[in-house]
Amino acid sequence: MARDLDWSIYMARAQAGDRDAYRRLLEDVAPYLRSIAARHFRNSGDIEDAVQEVLLTVHAVRHTYDPARPFGPWLVAIANRRVVDGLRRQGRSRAREVALDAEHETFAAPEANYHEAASEARALREAVESLPPGQRDAIRMLKLQEMSLKEAAAVSGMTVAALKVATHRAVKSLRKVLGRQDRRT
Amino acid sequence: MITTPDLIESLVANAAPVRRLRPPVARAVGWLLFAALMLALLAVSHEVRPDLALRLRQPEFVIGIAASLATGVLAAIASFLLSIPDRSRAWLLLPLPALFVWVSTIGYGCLINWVSLQPGSLPFGNEAGCFALLVLTGVPLSLAMLIMLRHAALLAPTRVAISGSLAVAAVTATALSIFHEHDASAIILIWNFGTAVLLVALGGAFGRRMFSWVAYAGK
């Protein structure tokens, strides 16, 4: 392949420090690398990232190229390596991220989200109902009716310290209950 | 994010002349010469095992030592070939025949000696010397290999680390059988093969990290 021979010569010159040959080589191989990357990535940003990763690697290991051997396989081996790394990285980040699509989009106006808010409120109410009586009362008075510790103590006849403990425990068990629901859905 | 033409310009600006690597087999020979030098130094300082002449007349000992040496040589060649991007990954299989012979001789020796082994006669005691020998050969050989193959950090670190560790392990095991006297098969098995498995496993698990560490330190 004539192109391969050119690349091989350019790289041999680049190894000796010929910058013009090196620039011509990199500009020449970039579209070729882009076509390799396009087989594996759809997003144009990902493709360009992969091309740049390959160029950086080629630069870092350019001393491993032996001009007696064809340039194409050397380049393709590096490109495949970087593409595989890129796919792995993508797989890792996909496991933690959710791509937003039309269904996830919503409006800023509160009415648009009323449905979700209502179901969340119901879940919270049910969770509060499921608490033991002492904790339930403490949560209701202190968090839902926003009483102060003193007022709540006066109304319920519990001490301030007991109310604090009950609230702390209630929040802890609510977190457990709601967290479990989150994971289930 | 930097655009690709800008990246190319910055790479071109940094394109200092580089020294081409010598052919992989020649570099492997260089590493093996270093290993031979290490063994020679050990022979001067450590003395060979007293019964070496006797053992060299036993075919299974000779086959075993030849096989571990061959495994070391072939695995070293394979590592240097694998570290070059365009060489086939099938080179990883190169040391397998020798490795197979080596493992079989250990297994065979084990089978023969196991029966004659008296309970409680496992010769523990000079383990410290054995361990020192292991570290004395293993560490410099591993470091030399890591530095010579540091460019593999960006290419195929795990593959290269596995075959490189096998080379180090096999050479170390050869050194152990020349310098250390062990007649209990269990100990031979543990030292020879256990060390090899340990080194290869370590290489497989940490090779990537070790290579990138050396690669960054070298920059």
Q: What is the CATH number of the domain that holds A80?
A: 1.10.1740.10
* Distance (Å, whole) CA B206 – CA B71: 22
pLDDT at B219: 43
Minimum Cα–Cα distance from B1: chain A residue: A49
**Quick one: what percent of chain B has pLDDT higher than 70?**
72
Phi, psi (deg, nearest 5) at residue B87? -85, 150
Inspect the interface and report whether the beta carbons of B4 and A63 lie closer than 8 Å: no
The answer to whether residue A59 is domain-embedded is: yes
Q: Which band of pLDDT confidence, cut at 50, 70 and 90, is reported for residue B185?
A: very low
pLDDT at B76: 94
pLDDT at B35: 93
pLDDT of B34 higher than 90: yes
pLDDT at B79: 92
Tens of pLDDT, residue by residue over A12-52, are 999 998 889 999 999 999 999 999 999 888 888 888 888 99
The answer to whether A14 faces chain B, any CB pair under 8 Å, is: yes
The alpha carbon of residue B141 is apart from the nearest alpha carbon of chain A, in Å, by 22
A8 lies in the same domain as A85: yes
State the average pLDDT over residues B82-99: 89
The ipTM of this complex is 0.74
Closest CA relative to residue B195, chosen from B141, B138, B149: B138
State the average pLDDT over residues B96-115: 74
Burial A90-102 (b: 16+ CB within 10 A, else e): beeeeeeeeeeee
* Alpha carbon of residue A67 to chain centroid: 42
Element (H, E) at A158: none
Where is the domain boundary, A59, A93, A127? A93
A71 lies in the same domain as A150: no
Task: Please compute, for residue A149, the number of CA atoms within 13 A of its CA located in the half-sphere on the CB side.
Answer: 10
pLDDT of B184 higher than 50: no
pLDDT of B37 higher than 90: yes
The answer to whether residue A99 is domain-embedded is: no
Using a CB-CB cut-off of 8 Å, the residues of chain B touching A67 are: 20
The range of the structural domain enclosing residue A165 comes to 112-184
Minimum Cα–Cα distance from A55: chain B residue: B8
Residue in B2, B86, B212 to test binding to A, most A beta-carbons within 10 Å: B86
The answer to whether residue A41 is domain-embedded is: yes
The answer to whether residue A127 is domain-embedded is: yes
A151 lies in the same domain as A88: no
pTM here is: 0.67
CATH code (residue A119): 1.10.10.10
The answer to whether residue A40 is domain-embedded is: yes
pLDDT at A185: 46
Tens of pLDDT, residue by residue over B186-210, are 455 565 566 667 666 776 677 666 6
* Distance (Å, whole) CA B149 – CA B77: 12
Give helix then strand counts, H and E, for chain A.
Answer: 8, 0
The answer to whether B4 faces chain A, any CB pair under 8 Å, is: yes
**Total domain count, chain A:** 2
pLDDT at B43: 82
The answer to whether A64 faces chain B, any CB pair under 8 Å, is: yes
Phi, psi (deg, nearest 5) at residue B215? -65, -40
pLDDT of B51 higher than 50: yes
Task: Please compute, for residue A172, the number of CA atoms within 13 A of its CA located in the half-sphere on the CB side.
Answer: 8
Q: Which residues of chain A have pLDDT under 70?
A: 1-2, 98-117, 180-185
A72 lies in the same domain as A148: no
A131 lies in the same domain as A50: no
Minimum Cα–Cα distance from B218: chain A residue: A60
Inter-chain contacts counted by CB atoms under 8 A, chains A and B: 81
pLDDT at A111: 65
The answer to whether residue A162 is domain-embedded is: yes
Question: B148 exposed, middle or buried (CB, 10 Å; 0-12, 13-18, 19+)?
Answer: buried
pLDDT at B97: 92
Closest CA relative to residue B195, chosen from B91, B94, B71: B71
Task: Please compute, for residue B192, the number of CA atoms within 13 A of its CA located in the half-sphere on the CB side.
Answer: 34
